[in-house]
Each structure stands twice: as structure tokens, then as C-alpha cells.
Chain A
Amino acid sequence: MEKFQTLTSTYVPLPIENVDTDQIIPARFLKATTKEGFGDNLFADWRYDKEGKPKADFVLNNPTYSGEILVAGKNFGSGSSREHAAWAIVGYGFKAVVSSFFADIFKNNSLNNGLLPVIVSVEFLAEIFDSVSKDPKATLTINLEKQTITNNATGKSESFEINPYKKECLLKGLDDIDYLLSKKPLIEAYEKDQTL
């Protein structure tokens, strides 16, 4: 896993609520047996028409917007447990997703893939959308160490929550499996204790 550094970037606005995992990556693209290539099908049904041509009105097809941060409406990532959703977002080139609310499993899956979910207040989110509608080149700065996000267009900052363990993992680029493997003796001891 890549280490997460402080990130300043323009951002892509998706002001839609309840974006579910079937929109992030539709089920028919889940037939792969590797993690590669999902970025091309991120938001496939919104991004391409029936013939596979890019739809001009979808934000990812609009050259005005770009960047390594995706900003979405509340309850992002609801629905299935498919980690393919996180792979698609990372595969496309995003490093962080900002919303006022995330679905649980999606949040876990993101963190396990070095994608930082940043939870902001409803007001802060509305201002981010407002800033980018005035200037598509507006930027955000995400400082994981300090747990702050700054809307550089307004200069306003907000701090965000992240589990200290997960933060450590992201900063160091470590994953949970490494950690669990180091706990083998504890696992064996636990199993010995089980009477049922």
C-alpha cells in the first residue's frame, strides 16, 4: 500500500446523495479475478451511453473538472460490500473521497486500499460544491497528520475524524494483514481457550 502524504488538489464534484456501489461499479464488471482495470468502468452507467461512448453531461467526461479528490453527496458507497468499488476509485486516480456521510463497509474497504474517506460537515460540503461551481480550478488540501481539510478558495478549514490505528496504517503504508500475522500466537492461544 502507498503511503498517504498531504494532498493539495483540484477536485471532481458529484453532488448526488446515496451514490451506491452499483453506480460506482455495476455488477456486470465484477467478473475479473484481479484488482486491475476497474478504473475504466468507474461510474460506467453514468459515464458511457449504450454504445460505450462517453456521455457529455457526466462530470468525469467534463474536462473542466479534474483532480485526485472526489467530492460526493451524503451517504456515499451504500449497498454492497464489493471492494471493487474502492479499486475502481483508486484505479481511476483518486486518493481521497470527501462526503458528509459514508457507508460503513465502503469506508473500511477504502482504508484498506489507501483511499482516504474524509467526513466533513453538511455546511462545509455545501461550500466545497459552491467553490467549485464558481471556479473549477478551486483546490482542497487534506492533511492526514493533522486531520484537517482546507477549502483553499475560502480559506476555511475543518478537522475530520479517523481511527488512530487506521491513520497510522495510511501514513506508513501498512495493512491489516501484516498486523494480524504478527498476532499468530494470540490467535492460537484464543483457540486453545475455546471450550465449545
Chain B
Amino acid sequence: MKTLFDKIWDAHTVSTVQDGPTQLYIDRHFCHEVTSPQAFNGLRTRGLTVLRPDKTTLTADHNTPTINQDQPVKDPISRNQLDTLSKNAADFGLTLYALGNKKNGVVHIIGPENGYTQPGMTIVCGDSHTSTHGAFGSIAFGIGTSEVEMVLATQCILQSRPKTMRITFNGKLNKGVTAKDLALYMIAQLTTGGATGYFVEYAGEAIRNMSMEERMTLCNLSIEMGARGGLIAPDEKTFTYVKGREFAPKGEAWDKALAYWKTLKTDEGAKFDKELVFEAADIQPMITYGTNPGMGMAVNDSIPTLDQIDEAGRISFQKSMDYMGFKPGEKLEGKSIDYVFLGSCTNGRIEDFRAFTNFIKGKKKAENVVAWLVPGSWMVEKQIREEGLYDILIEAGFSLRQPGCSACLAMNDDKVPAGKYAISTSNRNFEGRQGPGARTILAGPLVAAAAAITGKITDPRTF
């Protein structure tokens, strides 16, 4: 009796170092411009080539502008990093979706979209949100640059086997509650270190009911509670999503793959190192109030008071309150905000744009709000236009930017100014994440849409 995780891990074990880590074979490797240059330099220094060039895919996303992408990138240091990526792709014979390519976009969005991401795979990338791909029933996790070099050189990685955890969500989600709210609720319950050392399988009715996009949002956020990754057993929804995509198996190969994928589930009675169960009905639309993703609460709730925080954590808690300009015990609903960011590998998919657009349809953007709507990829951008969402957004006073990571980590010009409040659908509210001094409130696409209309922190259900 094996868990889904065990099945995939065992199928990819090449060898095990005595008393040490597993040598794991990697099926799919993604790279972007920020965490790969030093790895390619390492290959050059050691005189190595890329072992399996067809298994690595490159994209430019972290450092790219979200306007005028057809013009040369202004910042010389960013441009150098993008040029370095192009040079590395050419030197080592790898596929790159550079700026301007119609398959370009955020790495964790384009992988699934193009059919690179498939059930049963091992997937890595020098990026912690690689956990996103676990939504397809694969073992996907973020790695450091030394490990990127290992994968390039040997298509393998050394990893100690994580413990397994199953998190079950019983029942149905309330109306107006999204996958993002579910994830923020879970992280608030577990804290940012609560799943460290574990690989999580998500299960239960609420998870089964989710679309692939929602599952990706959830798996994406696994890392924010410290988990190595999160995965969901593949089902008909998964197969339907993958079928027909450019790099998905075709014909006979499809039939063979499908037969195998159908075996990818946790056996009845298989043991996890830890099991947690939540009721979906307990979850409300969520926001964060502090400077890590574990500091979340229902949008209409109050921030904890100091005496609710354990003693060792009080310095950090107070520091976080000072940074955010909030007081312990305070209610945040109704507070003015300055920026809204819809995008990132967490909430930059077509469904997020549909949800946001449906909500704002026939209303007007608040005057005081700067809204950055950034599709996760050019494919999402195209869908936004084809489905008529674009016109509705423009009508309501919004505009659409070009794809990339954008304000999720603010490496490009999309920086929230110091002291300003941003309702952000991204994944991290760390100090300075969206620009030096920027104050980030994480939320799902509906809370973001409500804030974009009222200019305030608003419960989308009261609208």
C-alpha cells in the first residue's frame, strides 16, 4: 500500500546514497533568467554539457517589463540577465520562450498550458513555486541554483525523502470563497513552517470539485507553509486539461500514458506521516494582515491582540505591525488601499481573470486605486481578448498589462511605492516584496475585485 507520492518517488529513484539522499531522475526541468546564470557558468567551468536538452525548457519572466515588450528592455542590468539567458539557451541547445515569443509567460503558467506538465512526472525549477505543477499529480518542487546545475549536467538531483502529509478538505466551499482563500486559511492554521519537511497530498470533496486552475493555485501555495510541495491525484479533469496540448502525448502514446496515469492515486489504507482534516464550510474570504503568508484572517475579522501571540513571537509580530501600519486587535475591513495587483503564478490564469471581470462587470474602478492586471502568459492574454473580458475591463476603467511576474516580486518597474497598501493576488507579503516599504495584503481575485471597485478592503459577499 503506497501513497501517490511514494509511487512517483519510487518510480524515479535511480539509486540511494547509503545513509543519505535519493538520486532522483527528473522528467521536466524549467529555468528562468534569475536563478540559472550561475548554473550555466558552473557547467562552463567544469567543461560540461546539458545531458538531456529536450527535458529543459527556458522562459524569461521575472525581470521583464509589462509594457512595451516590443522595445529593448531599459534597465541595463535586467537586459544583461535576459541576454545571458538567450546566450545560454543558444550555447547549450535549449528551447527558450524569450520576450516576444507567443508562448512566453510566467514559468509555472506556461508549463501546464503547453502540456509540458503531466501526471506522474518529477518536475523541478529554480523557483519555490514549482509546487504549482503538483496539481497534475506530479512531484514538483523548487530547487537552488547548485541543484539547477546538477539537473542540467545529470538530469538527476540528490534529495532526502520528505515525510508525507495528507490534508483533507471535507464538504463544499461557501459561495464567494476561492481556492486562494482555502490556501490562505490553511496556511494561517499551519503557520509558515507548519509543513516543513513534508510533501502534502490534498484530498477531499472540496479539492475534487476544484478546476485545474484552482488546484494549481492551491498547490502553488504549498511552499508558503514550508512544504516541499503539494500534489493532487489526477482525475478526469486532469486528463481533459492535458489532452491535446502541444507537448502532451498523442495517439498511441496518449493511450499508454493515460492507462498509467489512472493508477496514480493513494492506495486505500496507505499511511501518511501526518493527516489533517478541515471543513470547507469554515472558510471565509481571506486577507493577510502581516508580513508572512501565515498571518491571514477572514476579511471581516480582527487582527490578533498581543496577548494572543506566544512570547517568543512577539518581537516579530510587533515589527510586522509597525511595518504594515496596523495595530494589534484592529479590524481591516473598510480601510483604504492604493494598489490592486491581479496576476502571478498564483492567480494569473484565465479563471482568475474571469472571476475578476465577472465581479467588476458594469461597475467602475475606484478613482484612488492603481490597478495592475497582469496575465500570467500570452496565452492567457489572448484568451482574455477572445472571451471579451478585455472590453469589459476597459469599460470599467481598467487596463491590461503584458505578461510576466511583475509586482509579485517587483524586480521590474512594477513596484508599489513605500507606505502604500496593495491588495495583491500573489503569494508573498514579505517586507519589501512588492518594492521597498510596500505594504502587501494578500487575497484572492474576488477580494481584489471588490477592493478595486470600492478602493477599500471589502468583503466581496457584501457587495
Contact residues of A with B, CB < 8 Å?
A: 15-18, 20, 22-23, 26-28, 30-35, 45, 50, 73-75, 78-84, 86, 101-105, 108-109, 112-113, 122, 126, 163-166, 175-177, 179-181, 183-184, 186-187, 190-191, 196
User: Contact string, B24-60, partner A, CB cutoff 8 A, digits 1/0?
Assistant: 0100000000110110011000101001000000000
A165 and B20: CB pair below 8 A?
yes
A112 and B146: CB pair below 8 A?
yes
A186 and B411: CB pair below 8 A?
no
B433 and A22: CB pair below 8 A?
yes
B260 and A31: CB pair below 8 A?
no
B150 and A176: CB pair below 8 A?
yes
Q: B17, B46, B158, B411: which has the most chain A beta carbons within 10 Å?
A: B158
How distant is the Cα of A79 from the Cα of B142 in the complex, in angstroms? 11
| Nearest-Cβ distance from residue B140 to partner chain A, whole angstroms | 12
Whose C-beta in chain A lies nearest to the C-beta of B88? A33
Q: How many of B's residues come within 8 Å of A, CB to CB? A: 71
Contact residues of B with A, CB < 8 Å?
A: 14-15, 17-21, 23, 25, 34-35, 37-38, 41-42, 46, 48, 51, 62-63, 77-78, 80-81, 84, 120, 126-128, 130, 142-147, 149-150, 153-158, 160, 162, 192-193, 196-197, 226, 228, 256-257, 260, 292, 294, 312-313, 315-316, 319, 409-411, 428, 430-433, 436
A101 and B20: CB pair below 8 A?
no
6 contacts between A and B (CB under 8 A): A22-B430, A81-B35, A81-B130, A103-B226, A180-B23, A180-B156
Inter-chain contacts of B41 with A (CB < 8 A): 33-34
How distant is the Cα of A93 from the Cα of B411 in the complex, in angstroms? 26
Inter-chain contacts of B193 with A (CB < 8 A): 18, 74-75, 78, 101, 103
> 4 smallest A-B Cβ distances: which pairs?
A165-B20, A33-B37, A81-B142, A83-B144
How distant is the Cα of A54 from the Cα of B430 in the complex, in angstroms? 21
Which listed residue (B144, B153, B196, B315) contacts A112, Cβ 8 A? Answer: B144
A79 and B430: CB pair below 8 A?
yes
How distant is the Cα of A103 from the Cα of B21 in the complex, in angstroms? 17
Other A-B contacts than A27-B409, A112-B147, A175-B146, 6 sampled, CB-CB below 8 A, are: A32-B37, A32-B77, A80-B428, A81-B126, A108-B143, A109-B145
Whose C-beta in chain A lies nearest to the C-beta of B127? A81
Inter-chain contacts of B37 with A (CB < 8 A): 32-34
How distant is the Cα of A104 from the Cα of B160 in the complex, in angstroms? 10
Which listed residue (B160, B313, B411, B433) contacts A30, Cβ 8 A? Answer: B411
B128 and A165: CB pair below 8 A?
no
Inter-chain contacts of B78 with A (CB < 8 A): 31
Known: A104-B228, A164-B19, A179-B158. A18 touches B316 (CB 8 A): yes
